[in-house]
A and B are shown apart, each in its own frame.
Chain A
Amino acid sequence: MDRGIRLFFLDLMLLMLGAVIIYFGFFSDGITNQNSSFQMPSSFLQLNTIFLSILIEAIPFVLLGVFIAGFIQIFITEEQIQKWIPKNRFSAVLMSCVVGACFPACECGIVPIVRRLVAKGVPIYAGVGFLLTGPLINPIVILSTYMAFGNDLKMASLRMGVGFAAALIIALVTSLVFRKNQLKRVPENTIEHGLNPKASFVKKFWHMLKHAIDEFFDMGKYLILGAFFAAFIQTYVSAQSLLQIGEGWVSSTLVMMGLAYLLSLCSEADAFIGASFRNLFPTSSILAFLIYGPMLDLKNTIMLFSVFKVKFVLYLMVIITATVFMCVSFLSGL
């Protein structure tokens, strides 16, 4: 009882704190402006700016993701999914990769969608295919890659082609290694899950929105953590020192993949960064950068860890890294 009261007061305090924050934040011009004795170190301000910019950039896509996840949760039944997904493993993987390629998403917005799909009975390997091609292959990414590389189709088509092949291989390897759904919290009584299927559309829609909110709060914290780490690395680790390691083909490819992972750029924007390395590194290393980044990066790793079992995420990271590296080396060997 005592505990309950204490928690109640803690909640009340948090609420009041929140109200004060909103009041001052919105209606005054920021406290720091007037009060110059309160100075943050400039590198922290820089970190904070990058951190917020990553969040602002990602939030619209994450909101889209949670709405779709909510939609799947309420409107799509397990039976429908059973019907749609081919029984054959290879065609299931192929289908998921193609669907992912048609689906515009970013690497953080897609995590809640995949989780929802897998919870609804989509096999984990099909979920992986979708997870990988969703952010990598879509019209915006193709266009920005095309423009970043001097209106040259070669890089854009290599990115799509090799990326698609790599995603297929990764999903197939996953299908050999993992069977179960690999979700951290296994849904209990999935049959009870949805509402009464005969519930009215309005009621269903209402529930969809509530699900979207819950999903946002669930994913939001991991997105925030990921964005913060990525901003931290950008502010305190010099890219130049990383680049000095990159001599020779193998190490330059690994460096570019490492960079793609740490920078956690949105797949729509990374082409311009990739293009700026063209004189430093061979094309294949740049290609590795462009393919690896959308599949795996610091901020989506944290989200993946929150959704899937630790062992699965670690395996997946190894499989993705090895496959992308091999695909790119194979290409440069030609």
Chain B
Amino acid sequence: MKFQAHQAFRAMILFAFFAFLIKLHMSGDILKYVNPKYNFLSQTAAYLFLFLFFIQCTRIWTRKNKHGEHCYHKCNHDHGDSHSPVKKRIAYSILTFPLLTGFFLPAKLMDASMASKKGIILNGTVGLQKEAKSETGTPPSLYAQEEKIAIDHEVAVDRKEVKKEAYDEKMKQLENAEVIDMNEEVFDPYYGQISENPEKYKGRTLKMKGFVYKEKGFQPNQFAMTRFLITHCVADATSIGFLTEFEKAQTLQQDTWLEIEGTLELTTYNGWEMPLIKVNSWKVIKEPKEPYVYPIWIKIL
């Protein structure tokens, strides 16, 4: 029997990918990378890696005098034994790199510095994408559902896909609730609605969580209450937020997480008419467990 070191190494890499993905799921850190709607994809991938690991294990020991069990058919791809040793090691270093950084470096949340790179938070363009959804009509209050969601986190994770009726219901609540509560579940559609027709919501009270983002053009008493919207993974994050006015704004640092309640007003910024929140009450909060918001997918059937 001959020990095939590179095959063993490959087996280990496969196992490490499995371990990495499972670790992310177990610790919940996966939320910091991808939209939970796609969790099943990475879970499936994890188990496929485990499966491939077992297959690969059978190749670690080969009988002697056999010139590599896989060489009898020549094909144009790398079996791991065709390259020069140096090239092979470079290849394996590349493959190990994401595992190293993945296991050892903490995931970092998107913050204000990324928001400034991505641009486009306040011009309201993001909001416009919701146009056709705006025909939904009228009433009751948010609180009943809200509590349920807060308690049941399991539901919270799967909820990004909602039924049409439930969605309509939520949108009705936006129109009639005393306080517009921008919780994670409805953040994106509500944000779209409000930035699209700021006039309609003028004078209403709004409650939201977000982090402080300041930009050069802002007045000293202004900042943006910002969230990142993740469609698939953090690479496609868009920052969305409301311009906020608050006399103590100067004392607030970039990236501070706040929960505020305020009144919606109208303002213009860089020639765009947009909503403005005048803060009535506020408190500094810890970074929430679910820092990102996600677009809602409406189940049509």
Contacts and interface: CB of A to CB of B under 8 A. Distances in A.
Interface residues of B, number: 90
A235 interface: yes
B110 A147 contact: no
B16 interface: yes
A91 interface: no
A200 interface: no
Given A147-B295, A230-B235, A18 B129 contact: no
B79 A11 contact: no
A33 interface: yes
Nearest to B23: A26
Interface of A: 7-8, 10-12, 14-15, 18-19, 21-22, 24-26, 30-33, 40, 42-43, 45-46, 48-57, 59-60, 63, 73, 119, 144, 147-152, 183, 185-189, 192-195, 206, 209-210, 212-218, 220-221, 224-225, 227-228, 230-231, 234-235, 237-240, 243, 263-266, 268-270, 272-273, 275-280
Contact of B98 (A52, A189, A192, A278): A52
Most buried by A among B14, B44, B77: B77
Given A22-B15, A147-B295, A185-B76, A277 B106 contact: no
Interface string B115-140: 01111100111101111110000000
B56 interface: yes
B298 to A, nearest CB: 8
Interface stretch (B86-94, B150-158, B201-209): B86-94
Given A150-B131, A265-B235, A278-B128, A31 B104 contact: yes
Contacts of B96: 18, 21
B14 A150 contact: no
Interface of B: 5-6, 8-10, 12-17, 19-21, 23-24, 30, 32-34, 38, 41-42, 44-45, 48-49, 52, 55-56, 59, 70, 73-80, 85, 89, 91-92, 94-111, 113-114, 116-120, 123-126, 128-133, 229, 231-236, 238, 295, 297-298
Contacts of A53: 33-34, 233-235
A12 B12 CA distance: 12
A224 B98 contact: yes
A57 B232 contact: yes
Contact of B73 (A25, A152, A194): A194
A40 B105 contact: yes
Contact of B95 (A51, A57, A221): A221
Contact of A280 (B56, B116, B125): B125
Nearest to A234: B235
A273 B102 contact: no
A45 B85 contact: no
Nearest to A273: B236
A292 B38 CA distance: 24
B10 A213 contact: yes
A19 B42 CA distance: 23
30 contacts: A11-B5, A11-B6, A14-B89, A24-B103, A30-B103, A30-B104, A30-B106, A45-B106, A51-B101, A53-B34, A54-B233, A54-B235, A119-B76, A147-B295, A150-B129, A152-B132, A209-B52, A209-B55, A210-B55, A214-B70, A217-B95, A221-B95, A224-B97, A224-B98, A228-B97, A237-B117, A240-B117, A240-B120, A266-B236, A272-B129
Contacts of A18: 9, 12-13, 16, 96
B37 to A, nearest CB: 11
A32 B108 contact: no
A149 B102 CA distance: 35
Contacts of B48: 63
A49 B298 CA distance: 29
A150 B103 contact: no
Nearest to B102: A52
Given A213-B52, A265-B235, A276-B238, A238 B295 contact: no
Contacts of A10: 89
Contact of B295 (A8, A265, A272): A272
B293 to A, nearest CB: 12
A3 to B, nearest CB: 8
Sorted nearest first, the 8 A-B pairs with minimum C-beta distance are A25-B103, A240-B119, A269-B232, A11-B5, A53-B233, A150-B131, A45-B108, A279-B125
B108 A48 contact: yes
B9 A11 contact: yes
B80 A214 contact: yes
Nearest to A272: B231
Contact of A59 (B8, B45, B297): B45
A125 B94 CA distance: 32
Given A12-B5, A45-B108, A151-B132, A193 B75 contact: yes
B129 A276 contact: yes
B161 to A, nearest CB: 12
B138 to A, nearest CB: 20
A263 B10 contact: no
Given A21-B100, A25-B104, A147-B297, A46 B113 contact: yes
Interface-central residue, B17, B24, B125, B232, by most chain A CB under 10 Å: B232
A220 B95 contact: yes
Given A56-B34, A218-B77, A239-B117, 9 more contacts: A19-B12, A21-B96, A54-B235, A152-B132, A209-B52, A239-B119, A269-B236, A273-B238, A276-B120
A266 B74 contact: no
Contacts of A31: 104
Contacts of B6: 11
A221 B76 contact: no
Contacts of A144: 231
Nearest to B14: A213
Nearest to A58: B233
B95 A60 contact: no
